[in-house]
């Protein structure tokens, strides 16, 4: 029940900060890596979140323990200048460890998404310094590092795929709110987001994150292409299993697949025969299917 | 360490689904409510997520327990037709309870965001059936309902505010990565997102969610306007406190405030005197400040 | 018919540049204007396009006549520092004239869109330095200035409006591709863009652009609210007429109104009676209606 | 000078409609084309604008000559069902001609943008019915057909490219607003939009639009990769020339290239040596360079 402002003055001491974080988002970096005439371009957006002993700035505005978000931004560029950027996971981990060099920081969470550039083909060869955007998909990682340990997840997002057949959906609940008919041949279009969560990091056991990414992306595409789907959920689960089979340091895989519906357009009012050919491409509303697949313990 | 595909076949039984959800997102509804010649328009986007006994569709593609996302969409419109839509919280709760009428559903999570339309002023009076968009901000709610109980959070997002003074930022950590100077007069521009989490719902004690929303929005604006800010964090914390003071059925308030930087543009190279007047408006990178304020227990 | 590359070498001299322009887009400015304790905030995005004697840089890469787009950006900020920014039209004209001080520039085209900030209400009064975003709509101007003269257009865009009745659409062409029924009561929702084109500028006759803008915005809203619409076109035309009536230095008004359809959702399959209450809010596809209204000569 | 409303009543007859158009935008189509087990997917967004004798609906609301935008949408789907969709140019032309079968239509303008889907590679072969999104770039066409003739333009947009060297910018105008230094090695990043305008269509001389598109896209990429650029303008002009050389039925090429700046980040304050390696990726402001290249007459 609401109270008037007068009823409740002087109660400030009754409240407390229960959680806090701050940082800098969307720090966008381009780095050229030169190997003689052959260049690579790395482009990514970095977000940093810090948690720790920052209550003073909330309660009194004293910023003595606050690393300014402008300094966080500077740090990201400065460390990127020295880091080879071979793998976003390694860069994120280096950043996270750096931020724990401030004793007031209890945990650092680093998110990186990387765009793809592929070499332009020129005279039948890959060009040494010219690139075309690789597609909508992005590689991502999230590293969370605190005084107790480190968790690393990696993944891919915005991987747009579509198949024109081998997708069915039938036998679902049929009640007063059901108008959808069973369908044995539908378009299946989605934007895959898959995140794989690694077992706890042990320093002595480095991983080849690039290779894992490439394998997982390839596997996601192959499962999507070849799986005869009875539901989005079923295809999602097979994807999760296949990723877990590929690398036994992955503990868990989370996959999200919006169902970007292509809705049959009824051409019969115009004297045409419906041949399951013409669809309305829609963005919303969309089905949203999520699942986490893990190893049994 | 990676394994070859041959090493790992036949291990399917080693995996399991550890979490799942599915539903329909961005079901957009417009409803006219007529009181004689005076009309109201309600526009909102509804997202439904269901969790429960849906393992079969993941493992075998059997959809016998699956309520199709198309049927979920139909249900949202059908229930909206019968519901007065006076408060999005009440509509979300009605939807959530409906979906638990399916025994395989263990929990329903309903997210609603509502756009604002305000009446057009015509001949000095509010028009009865014509509206202009109220602004960028949206009202939101999330209701999670399961077999044990119900949690309700409400809030506002995209509330863009800016003040031209009474904002300082000084005394922060100064080290090798610091280039920002102390500043005693800066623009403070942000897009407030505030979410208030209610105590557990008791049927016998209805709340006036509309009134709470209006009071909280007003209070957020007033604190932003009048608070002399030494850090975004400090202003955020005062906002949280003030919302908690207004209604003692709110247990906790989470506020997120991106710092949408306006960066002084140096006009001195052009023979002009810097008078703290001209700024570059930026979207990224942005500081991101979050905090949760609660009652002490 | 296509030719092989071999057929066509050496023909470079056969081609010429027929049109060119260059400039800087989305130069975003925030300016504080202080009148004692009372501040104003002006936020706008400026785009500059120059046309002129720039063939050399296209044909040989010689940039001797090119004003770098970075310098264009500097110029916009520097001139903004000195200009009162009372009206975007005046600022655009000042910029345009500046760029013609370069003899190689034949024409400058300046586009400005301005965001709205309104004062936060605090203790029943408008706050002196704190603001909340005014809405989605933007004020705009385009000034084109060349050696012969100046044209000025002003306008508003993204003015979202909706009415729940007093909109009909019937008696349209009915043929084999028609499935829409005549409708006597529909939702009319649109995002008005209106641009008014002034007569040729005469220095001795200044205009009150702010007042014209306010009058025109008010009139657009009032016509939308009060006009009984038989088609989007009809409402558009009345809007154009009313703006022309208000100011006789406006030669022509161009209005664009997308028809943001609210499509009735059929609730009858769910045992409910259709009461023209429940609609699907859609963004696409959308009808797009344009018209230019002018004075008869 | 403004007039009061009273001064100007009764002057309605002084105004007239000087231009008008209407239509349907963003009609999104997915079509499956089946050749046995091998499927193709075509996805595109179609916009239709009609001009003609539509004054009545503006002046009186009489819709007797209006083809409803809903019927326009139906027509697009119905004709898509019968059309092979081998080339968007051919489909656009078919649509345009259809709309001129209404005698009140004087001109039809059809815009189509097509997304790219490429086959997923599976077991070393292209999959027969599964696809991954090909990239950001879109193919486009605009066909304008009236009682006198037809114009066809085709093109590509959102072709994101970047090169890490072989781009200079020096010798530009240096004056009081110039702070940019001459640069002999910069990143050149842009999103190419190229439109080629065909000579007047003659029915007896069909073109292979798909082949022209493929050649032009390849040529744009190759010129971008291999041209040593002294200005964006210079590279643009070479692109235009090369496209004109490839096909002598193209009369004119219009190219637009925003300069998506990568701005060197100064790492020297952090004790690091600047090696032209680390850049801030920016979206705005951006240089905008346009040019039209044509055959000499």
Q: Which CATH number fits domain B20-148: 3.10.270.10, 1.10.10.10, 3.40.50.11540, 3.40.50.2020?
A: 3.10.270.10
Residue A4 has pLDDT above 50, yes or no: no
What pLDDT, on a 0 to 100 scale, did the predictor assign at position A203? 64
Instruction: Say which of A179, A270, A271 has its CB closest to residue C269.
Output: A179
Give the pLDDT confidence score for residue D204 in this predicted structure.
59
Phi/psi of residue D86, nearest 5 degrees: -65, -35
CB-based contact D281 A30, cutoff 8 Å: yes
Q: How many CB pairs under 8 A join A and B?
A: 287
How high is the mean pLDDT of chain D? 94
Contacting residues of D for C73, CB less than 8 Å apart: 285
Retrieve residue D65's tokens.
Answer: 């000559």
- Name the residue of chain A whose CA is nearest to B233's CA: A58
pLDDT at C206 over 90: no
Alpha-helix runs per DSSP H in C20-139: 55-59, 69-82, 88-99
CA angle at residue C11 from C10 to C14, to 5 degrees?
150
Interface check for C176 against chain A (CB to CB < 8 A): the answer is yes
In this complex, the residue of D49, D63, D244 whose CB is nearest that of residue C169 is: D63
Those residues whose C-beta lies under 8 Å from the C-beta of residue D166, and which sit 6 or more positions away, are A129, A130, D188, D227, D228, D229
Q: Is the dihedral of CA D166, D167, D173, D175 positive or negative?
A: negative
Is A20 close to B74, i.e. CB distance below 8 A? no
| Tokens 């039948």, located at residue | A124
Are A280 and D122 within 8 A, CB to CB?
no
Count the Cβ atoms, other than its own, within 10 Å of residue D10: 7
> Where does the pLDDT of residue C200 fall: very low under 50, low under 70, confident under 90, or very high at 90 and above?
confident
* Average pLDDT estimate for C255-260: 98
Three-class secondary structure of residue D195 per DSSP: strand
Q: Domain ranges in chain C?
A: 22-148, 156-297
Three-state DSSP at D74 gives: helix
Q: Taking Cα atoms as reference points, which of B262, B247, B265, B261 lies closest to residue B199?
A: B247
Task: For residue A39, give every residue at least 6 positions away whose Cβ sits within 8 Å of its Cβ, in sequence order, or none.
Answer: A32, A33, A128, A129, D164, D165
Nearest CA in chain B to A249: B1
- Average pLDDT over chain A, rounded to whole? 94
pLDDT at B206: 81
- CA C122 to chain A, closest CA, distance in angstroms equals 15
pLDDT at C147: 96
Give the C-alpha separation, B232 to B222, whole Å: 15
Residue C243 has pLDDT above 70, yes or no: yes
Q: At what angle do helices C69-82 and C88-99 cross, to 10 degrees?
A: 130
Name the residues of A annotated as catalytic: 24, 69, 261
Average pLDDT over residues A230-253: 97
Nearest of C89, C103, C91, C127 to residue C54 by alpha carbon: C103
Residues with Cβ within 8 Å of A219's Cβ and at least 6 positions away in sequence, in order, are A239, A242, A243, A246
Is residue A88 within 8 A of residue A94, CB to CB? The reply is no
Q: What is the mean pLDDT of residues B65-72?
A: 98
| Ordered DSSP codes for D50-79 | EEES-HHHHHT---TT---HHHHHHHHHHH
CA atoms of C113 and C91, how far apart (whole Å): 12
Q: Which two tokens stand for residue D147?
A: 């009682």
Q: Judge contact between D278 and D264, C-beta under 8 A.
A: yes
What is the CB neighbour count within 10 angstroms for residue D222?
Answer: 18
Q: Which of residues 34-63 of D touch C (CB under 8 A)?
A: 47, 49, 54, 57-63
Query: ipTM of this predicted complex?
Result: 0.94
CA distance C204 to D281: 46
Residue A204's pLDDT band (cuts 50, 70, 90): low
C165 touches chain B (CB under 8 A): yes
Q: What is the pLDDT of residues B149-176, one digit of tens each?
A: 999 999 999 999 999 999 999 999 999 9
**Structural element, H or E, at residue A70:** helix A69-82
DSSP notation for C123-134: TTEEEEEEEEE-
Which stretches within chain B are classed as H helix?
55-59, 69-82, 88-99, 209-226, 232-246
Smallest Cβ–Cβ distance between A57 and the set B234, B259, B285 belongs to B234
Q: Is residue B78 within 8 Å of C272, Cβ to Cβ?
A: yes
User: pLDDT tens for residues A82-131?
Assistant: 999 999 999 999 999 999 999 999 999 999 999 999 999 999 999 999 99
Rounded to whole angstroms, how far apart are CA atoms D294 and D227? 20
Residue D255, C-beta contacts closer than 8 angstroms, at least 6 positions apart: D192, D193, D194, D195, D236, D239, D240, D290, D291, D292, D293
User: Mean pLDDT over residues D181-203, rounded?
Assistant: 93
pLDDT for residue B125: 96
Query: Cβ(C24)–Cβ(D288) under 8 Å?
Result: yes
* pLDDT at C167 exceeding the cut of 60: yes
Contacts of C249 (CB under 8 A, 6+ apart): C198, C199, C205, C207, D1
Indicate whether A10 pLDDT > 50: no
A179 touches chain C (CB under 8 A): yes
Does B286 score more than 80 pLDDT?
yes
* Mean pLDDT, all residues of chain C: 94
List all residues 6 or more positions away from D238 whose beta carbon is below 8 Å from its beta carbon.
Answer: D223, D227
Residues paired with residue A109 on neighbouring β-strands, in sequence order: A49, A144
D237–A contact, CB cutoff 8 A = no
CATH class of D151-297: alpha beta
**Closest chain D CA to residue C98:** D177
Q: What secondary structure does DSSP assign to D84-118, as a single string? A: --S-HHHHHHHHHHHHTTSTTEEEEEEEEEE--EE
Residue closest to A293 by CA, chosen among A235, A256, A240, A257: A240
**Residues from chain C contacting residue A176 (CB–CB below 8 Å):** 270-271
CATH (one of 3.10.270.10, 3.10.580.10, 1.10.260.40, 3.30.70.270) for B155-297: 3.10.270.10
Chain C interface includes B177 (CB < 8 A): no
Chains meeting C at 3+ CB pairs closer than 8 A? A, B, D
Nearest CA distance, D169 vs chain A (angstrom): 18
**Beta carbons within 8 Å of C206's beta carbon, 6+ residues apart:** none
For residue A206, what pLDDT is reported? Answer: 81
Structure tokens at C178: 């028609």
- Give the right CATH number for C156-297 from 1.10.150.650, 3.30.70.580, 3.10.270.10, 3.40.50.300: 3.10.270.10
Taking only the tens place, the pLDDT of each residue in D212-241 is 999 999 999 999 999 999 999 999 999 999
C19 by DSSP, 3-state: which? strand
What is the Cα–Cα distance from A122 to C237, expressed in whole angstroms? 55
pLDDT tens by residue, B9-42 = 444 569 999 999 999 999 999 999 999 999 999 9
Q: D233 near D217, Cβ under 8 Å?
A: no
The DSSP bridge partners found for residue C278 are: B31
Phi-psi region of C125 (alpha: psi -120 to 50; beta: other; left: phi over 0): beta
Q: What is the pLDDT of residues A139-181, one digit of tens each?
A: 999 999 999 999 999 999 999 999 999 999 999 999 999 999 9
Of the pLDDT bands very low, low, confident and very high (cuts 50, 70, 90), residue B203 is low
Tell me phi and psi for residue C62, to 5 degrees: -75, 125
Tokens of A32: 């050229």
Residues 275-294 of C with CB under 8 A from D: 284-294
Active-site positions of D read 24, 69, 261
Q: C17 and D71: CB-CB below 8 Å?
A: no
Contact B33/C187, CB-based, under 8 Å? no
Residue D56 has pLDDT above 70, yes or no: yes
Could you tell me the sign of the dihedral formed by the alpha carbons of C294, D3, D4, D9, in that order? negative
In this structure, of B50-64, B75-89, B202-216, the range with the lowest mean pLDDT score is: B202-216
- Token pair, residue B249, equals 């059925």
Q: What is C222-243 written as a DSSP string?
A: HHHHH--BS-HHHHHHHHHHHH
Reply yes or no on whether C235 is catalytic.
Answer: no
> What kind of architecture, by CATH, is found in domain A21-148?
Roll (3.10)
Which residue in C has a C-alpha nearest to residue A175's C-alpha?
Answer: C270
Q: What is the pLDDT of residue A197?
A: 97
pLDDT category, A3, cuts 50, 70, 90?
very low
Distance of CA A22 to the CA centre of its chain: 20
Helix (H, G, I), strand (E, B) or coil at D20: strand
How near does any CA of chain B get to the CA of D272, in Å? 11
Do C22-148 and C156-297 fold alike per CATH?
yes
Closest by CA to D293, choosing from D228, D243, D218, is D243
Which CATH number applies to A157-297? 3.10.270.10
Q: Are C91 and C83 in contact (CB under 8 A)?
A: yes
- What is the structure's pLDDT at A274? 87
**Chain C: residue whose CA lies nearest to B78:** C267
Task: Please check whether residue C225 is in contact with residue C164, taking contact to mean a CB–CB distance below 8 angstroms.
Answer: no
CB B135 to CB C133 under 8 A?
yes
> Which of chain A's residues have a Cβ under 8 Å away from the Cβ of D28?
280-282
Sign of the Cα torsion C225, C228, C231, C236 reads negative
Contact D220, D226 (CB under 8 A): no
Q: What are phi and psi of B66, to 5 degrees?
A: -85, 120
Tens-digit pLDDT profile for residues D33-46: 999 999 999 999 99
Interchain CB contact of C150 with D (< 8 Å)? no
Contacts of B176 in chain D (CB under 8 A): 270-271
Segment C127-141 shows an average pLDDT of 96
| φ and ψ of D6, to 5 deg | -65, -35
CA gap D259, D271 in Å, rounded: 30
CA distance A144 to A95: 10
A67 pLDDT tier (thresholds 50, 70, 90):
very high
pLDDT for the residue numbered D200: 80
User: Residue A297's pLDDT is what?
Assistant: 78
**How many alpha carbons lie under 13 Å from residue D231 in its C-beta half-sphere?**
28
> Does A181 reach chain C within 8 Å, measured CB to CB?
no
**Angle, nearest 10°, between helix axes A209-226 and A232-246?**
150
Contact B183, B168 (CB under 8 A): yes
Tokens read off for B272? 């002009």
Residues 6+ apart with CB under 8 A from B173: A63, A64, A65, A66, A67, A68, A71, A102
- Residues on chain A touching D280 (C-beta within 8 angstroms): 28-30, 77
Q: Which of residues 79-98 of D touch A (CB under 8 A)?
A: 80-82
pTM confidence score? 0.95
Q: Identify the CATH assignment for C22-148 out of 3.10.270.10, 3.40.50.720, 1.10.3720.10, 2.30.40.10.
A: 3.10.270.10
**How many C-beta atoms lie closer than 10 Å to residue D174's C-beta?**
14
Chain C contacts of A270, Cβ < 8 Å?
176-177
* Mutation target among B108, B237, B263 for the A interface, most CBs of A within 10 A: B237
């Amino acid at each position: 029940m609401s109270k008037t402002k007068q009823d409740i003055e002087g109660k400030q001491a009754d409240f407390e900060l229960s959680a806090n974080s701050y940082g800098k988002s969307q720090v966008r970096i381009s780095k050229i890596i030169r190997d003689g005439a052959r260049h690579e371009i790395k482009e990514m957006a970095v977000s940093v979140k810090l948690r720790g002993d920052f209550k003073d700035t909330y309660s009194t505005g004293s910023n003595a323990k606050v690393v300014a978000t402008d300094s966080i931004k500077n740090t990201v560029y400065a460390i990127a200048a020295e880091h080879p950027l071979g793998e976003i996971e390694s860069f994120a981990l280096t950043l996270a460890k750096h931020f724990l060099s401030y004793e007031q920081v209890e945990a650092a969470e680093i998110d990186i998404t990387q765009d793809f550039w592929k070499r332009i083909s020129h005279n039948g060869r890959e060009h040494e310094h010219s690139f075309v955007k690789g597609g909508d998909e992005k590689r991502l990682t999230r590293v969370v590092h605190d005084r107790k340990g480190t968790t690393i997840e990696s993944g891919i997002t915005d991987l747009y795929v579509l198949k024109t057949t081998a997708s069915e959906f039938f036998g679902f609940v049929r009640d007063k709110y059901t108008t959808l008919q069973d369908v044995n041949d539908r378009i299946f279009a989605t934007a895959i987001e898959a995140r794989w969560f690694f077992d706890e990091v042990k320093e002595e056991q480095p991983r080849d994150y690039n290779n894992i990414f490439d394998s997982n992306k390839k596997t996601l595409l192959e499962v999507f292409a070849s799986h005869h789907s009875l539901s989005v959920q079923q295809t999602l689960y097979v994807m999760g299993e296949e990723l877990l089979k590929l690398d036994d340091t992955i503990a868990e895989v989370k996959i999200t697949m919006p169902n970007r519906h292509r809705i049959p357009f009824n051409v019969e009012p115009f004297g045409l025969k419906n041949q399951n050919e013409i669809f309305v491409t829609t963005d919303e509303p969309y089905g949203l299917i999520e699942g986490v697949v893990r190893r049994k313990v």
